[in-house]
């Protein structure tokens, strides 16, 4: 058959095995999509009715691409295949069967904003604190329950769940869940999680419905199986129970969505569900050079939980993987931007041949600013430009209003954020009153008793007084001091800090990153005027960005590594390879979390086709404080023979960094990075072999730490306290470690064992 000729031996075998349970382990760049589409075509060509085939994907894009390819191979019959995302396919099924669970067939599907609106109404009716019960937290908590098939009844009856909620003073979550479910049911609506939750309910409660679809879907295929959650796993298992003609495709090494509920055990334990399983391993990478593939292999080999495979490439050996060291996050952006400019100019490449990948959205700031300064066009993929994000625009609106109180758009944006009892009706009245009297809205709110009613008058007056206090402060304080004061006293920083959802944490980090940028601006020695108003003028120029106007424009792509999954680029820059950033500090508490971070690094590496560059900074601002950074442990896991070190960047001599050696004399020996003896470095910037903590190592209460004490750090080893400075909770200790030299640590984050208490 002609369509099989373009496949390698293992791909052909996977395509032709159409009976019984099959697992296809598809390494990065191994032609997974081609194998899935050809296998479906092979089923149709061997007499399987397209109406009896179910293909489940995770993105509409993947489903469209596969359908188009299958149409090309087998013709219009492909239109009869049930193919799409889990949510779209089971929404279709529920439309047919909805009456059995009490829903109309034309039920509404609520998106996230709809759900949030319902939650807000419930919180208001129950008189609950919308800070303690933030909408995002409530939504994520209930979403997690549904994805684990925990109904509101089970939620309320589960002692452990109730104890957890009570411990965080959120004992009403079960009642909110119940009210939300009833509200949606009354409205004839399901949210996204309900589409899977209700499908499970339907198949469990009505055996005749389950039997109907078990015999309808005689052949099942599931793409990206490593990303399935418990709810999805059960649906697939139930539907395949009769015929067991199930084929799952995926790569455990690319399982990176645990925070969304994905369970890697679904693919690792698939053989336990189907003992007669046939496994095919697609190990040839058609995307990347040998060096890139070898680096990826050397990293992922450190994971204990994995399905063993050996990915290889028959492409050219390619360039070695370059590792760049910068002395700050801003310099890292500069080095990356300059490298891209050089590569494009000397190799005749296009801007869209380049991608910059980072662990967190907040890291885009230094990259964006460096690219702008060189006039390099770029686009944020899968997210907003740093300065276009809501939380950034909110804080900047406070800055704008402080310097120009007549800025009506800024006023409308922040007058009731965070909430202070000035609703839309009141804002509309302020604007109308200003128009009627031919004055500015600011004049209305600074004379509230003259223009507004009693209750709203007090709230508006308090807001105006707050902005006036900001105006006074900015006349005497530095840009950073003023910005931090405004962020704190406006209530914005507190509001974001109290939102502990994934999105809330990202927004809080983004605000901290903006403050970090202002801190750096305040400490620049090349400018005289360092007020917040000068910074705002700079930002006004930076935010005038037209990159998003043409989606097909030739631009450098910037994105988080999570957003990059499934994509590929000729040249890839992975930035911020530092401990506590990548791997994330939140991932260091368990092996499973750390292994997911390593899989994320594997995904980043395997996006590159011909050239891969890794970079890290030896210092960056965090919460307004310049901290030293040590390179990521992942760098040490790469076989040295595949690396090329580029440590030629000049250090910036500043108050926190002191280098005697102007040019780097750094070397790579024994698969570690080591510093030259001639450099005096107050903030450590080396990648050394990890210290093995002593038996029984446990962090001490550092509030008792004194100068002269001997300590042990879990990674830096043994040292002696030289000095302590600052006030609680921001006390810093300068410690001389025997192995790596002098290092300054923030005690509230440091894990130190005091040896001579």
Q: Are 684 and 741 in contact (CB under 8 A)?
A: yes
Omega of the bond prior to 729 within 30 degrees of 0, cis?
A: yes
- Considering the candidates 334, 607, 620, 633, report the single residue annotated as catalytic: 607
Q: Is 224 a catalytic residue?
A: yes
Burial of 348 (0-12, 13-18, 19+ CB in 10 A): exposed
Q: Which of 33, 108, 477, 543 is catalytic?
A: 33
How many other C-beta atoms can be found within 10 angstroms of the C-beta atom of residue 342? Answer: 10
Burial zone of 521 (CB within 10 Å; 0-12 exposed, 13-18 middle, 19+ buried): buried
Q: Is 359 a catalytic residue?
A: no
- Give start and end residues of each alpha helix (H) in 415-531: 424-437, 441-446, 448-451, 454-474, 479-489, 492-497, 502-522
Say how far apart CA 120 and CA 34 lie, in whole Å. 46
Terminal alpha carbon distance of the chain: 78
Residues with Cβ within 8 Å of residue 503, at least 6 apart in sequence: 136
Q: Which of 224, 251, 391, 513 is catalytic?
A: 224
- Those residues whose C-beta lies under 8 Å from the C-beta of residue 478, and which sit 6 or more positions away, are 522, 530, 531, 532
Residues in a beta bridge with 672: 669
CA distance 562 to 558: 12
Half-sphere exposure of 260 (CA within 13 A, CB side): 12
Give the residues across from 754 on adjacent strands. Answer: 711
Which of 97, 191, 223, 595 does the annotation list as catalytic? 223
- Measured CA to CA, the distance from residue 57 to residue 74 in angstroms comes to 20
Q: How far apart are CA 184 and CA 195, in angstroms?
A: 13
3-state SS of 151-217?
CHHHHHHCHHHHHHHHHCCCCCHHHHHHHHHHHHHHCCEEEHHHHHHHHHHHHHHCHHHHHHHHHHC
Residues near 242 by beta carbon (within 8 Å), at least 6 away in sequence: 211, 214, 215
DSSP 8-state code for residue 581 = B
Using an 8 Å Cβ cutoff, are 687 and 640 in contact? Answer: no
Cβ atoms of 633 and 690 within 8 Å: the answer is yes
Cis peptide before 492 (omega within 30 of 0): no
Report the C-alpha gap between 726 and 14 in whole angstroms.
Answer: 63
- Strands, sheet with 643-646, edge to edge from the N-terminal-most edge strand: 378-380, 556-560, 354-358, 569-574, 608-617, 321-326, 643-646
Q: Is 254 a catalytic residue?
A: yes
Length of the chain: 757
Catalytic residue among 12, 32, 391, 596: 32
User: Is the previous residue joined to 583 through a cis bond, with omega within 30 degrees of 0?
Assistant: yes
Helix (H, G, I), strand (E, B) or coil at 620: strand
Number of Cβ atoms within 10 Å of the Cβ of 75 = 11
Rg (CA), the chain: 29
436-439-442-447 Cα dihedral, nearest 10 degrees: -80
Contact 192, 87 (CB under 8 A): yes
Question: For residue 311, what are the contacts with CB-CB under 8 A and spacing of at least 6?
Answer: 27, 28, 30, 283, 284, 285, 293, 296, 297
717 CB-near residues (< 8 Å, 6+ apart): 691, 737, 738, 739, 740
> Which are the catalytic amino acids?
32-33, 223-224, 254, 607
């Amino acid at each position: 058959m002609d369509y099989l000729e373009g496949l390698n031996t293992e791909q052909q075998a996977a395509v032709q095995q159409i009976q019984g349970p099959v697992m296809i382990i598809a390494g990065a760049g191994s032609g997974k999509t081609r194998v899935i589409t050809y296998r479906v075509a092979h089923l149709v060509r061997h007499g399987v009715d397209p109406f009896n085939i179910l293909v489940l994907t995770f993105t509409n894009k993947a489903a469209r691409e596969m359908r188009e390819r299958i149409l090309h191979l087998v013709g219009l019959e492909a239109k009869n295949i049930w193919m799409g995302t889990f949510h779209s396919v089971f929404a279709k099924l529920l439309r047919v069967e909805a009456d059995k669970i009490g829903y109309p067939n034309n039920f509404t599907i609520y998106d996230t904003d709809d759900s949030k609106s319902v939650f807000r109404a419930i919180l208001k009716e129950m008189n609950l604190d919308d800070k303690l019960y933030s909408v995002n937290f409530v939504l994520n908590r209930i979403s997690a329950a549904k994805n684990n098939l925990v109904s509101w009844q089970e939620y309320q009856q589960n002692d452990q769940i109730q104890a957890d909620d009570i411990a965080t003073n959120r004992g009403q979550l079960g009642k909110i869940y119940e009210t939300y479910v009833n509200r949606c049911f009354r409205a004839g609506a399901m949210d996204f999680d309900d589409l899977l939750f209700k499908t499970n309910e339907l198949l469990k409660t009505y055996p005749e419905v389950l039997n109907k679809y078990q015999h309808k879907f005689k052949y099942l295929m599931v793409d990206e199986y490593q990303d399935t959650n418990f709810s999805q796993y059960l649906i697939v298992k139930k539907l395949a129970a009769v015929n067991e003609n199930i084929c799952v495709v995926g790569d455990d090494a690319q399982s990176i969505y645990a925070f969304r509920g994905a369970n890697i055990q679904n693919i690792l334990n698939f053989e336990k569900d189907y003992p007669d399983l046939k496994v095919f391993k697609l190990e040839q990478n058609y995307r990347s050079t040998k060096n890139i593939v070898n680096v990826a292999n050397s990293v992922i080999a450190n994971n204990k939980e994995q399905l063993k495979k050996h990915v290889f490439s028959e492409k050219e050996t390619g360039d070695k993987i370059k590792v760049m060291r910068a002395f700050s996050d801003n310099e890292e952006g500069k080095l990356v931007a300059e490298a891209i400019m050089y590569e494009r100019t000397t190799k005749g490449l296009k801007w869209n041949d380049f991608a910059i990948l980072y662990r967190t959205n907040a890291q885009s700031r230094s990259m964006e600013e460096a690219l702008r300064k060189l006039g390099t066009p770029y686009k944020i993929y899968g997210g907003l430009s740093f300065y276009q994000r809501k939380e950034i625009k909110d804080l900047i609106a406070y800055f704008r209003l402080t310097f120009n109180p007549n800025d009506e758009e800024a006023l409308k944006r922040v007058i009731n954020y965070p909430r202070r009892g000035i609703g839309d009706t009141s804002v509309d009245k302020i604007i109308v009153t200003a128009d009627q009297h031919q004055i500015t809205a600011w004049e209305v709110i600074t004379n509230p008793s003259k223009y507004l009613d009693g209750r709203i008058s007090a709230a508006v007056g308090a807001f105006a007084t707050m902005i006036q206090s900001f105006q006074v402060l900015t006349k005497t304080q530095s840009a950073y001091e003023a910005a931090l004061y405004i962020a704190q006293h406006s209530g914005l920083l507190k509001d974001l800090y109290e939102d502990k959802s994934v999105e809330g944490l990202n927004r809080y980090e983004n605000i901290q990153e903006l403050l970090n940028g202002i801190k750096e601006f305040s400490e620049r020695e090349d400018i005289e005027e360092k007020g917040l108003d000068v910074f705002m003028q700079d930002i006004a120029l930076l935010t005038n960005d037209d990159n998003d106007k043409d989606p097909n424009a030739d631009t450098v792509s910037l994105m988080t590594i999570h957003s990059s999954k499934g994509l590929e680029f000729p040249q890839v820059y992975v930035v911020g390879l530092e401990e506590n950033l990548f791997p994330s500090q939140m991932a260091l508490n368990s092996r499973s979390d750390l292994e997911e971070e390593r899989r994320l690094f594997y995904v980043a590496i395997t996006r590159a086709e011909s050239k891969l560059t890794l970079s890290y900074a030896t210092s960056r601002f965090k919460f307004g404080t310049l901290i030293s950074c040590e390179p990521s442990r992942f760098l040490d896991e790469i076989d040295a023979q595949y690396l090329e070190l580029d440590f030629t960047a000049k250090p910036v001599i500043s108050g926190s960094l002191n280098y005697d050696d102007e040019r780097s004399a750094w070397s790579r020996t024994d698969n570690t990075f080591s510093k030259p003896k001639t450099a005096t470095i107050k903030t450590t910037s080396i990648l050394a072999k990890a210290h093995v903590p002593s038996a029984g190592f446990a962090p001490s209460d550092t509030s008792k730490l004194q100068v002269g004490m001997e300590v042990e750090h879990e990674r830096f080893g043994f040292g002696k306290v030289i000095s302590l400075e600052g006030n609680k909770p921001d006390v810093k200790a300068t410690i001389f470690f025997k192995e790596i030299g002098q290092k300054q640590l923030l005690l509230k984050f440091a894990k130190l064992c005091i040896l001579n208490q």
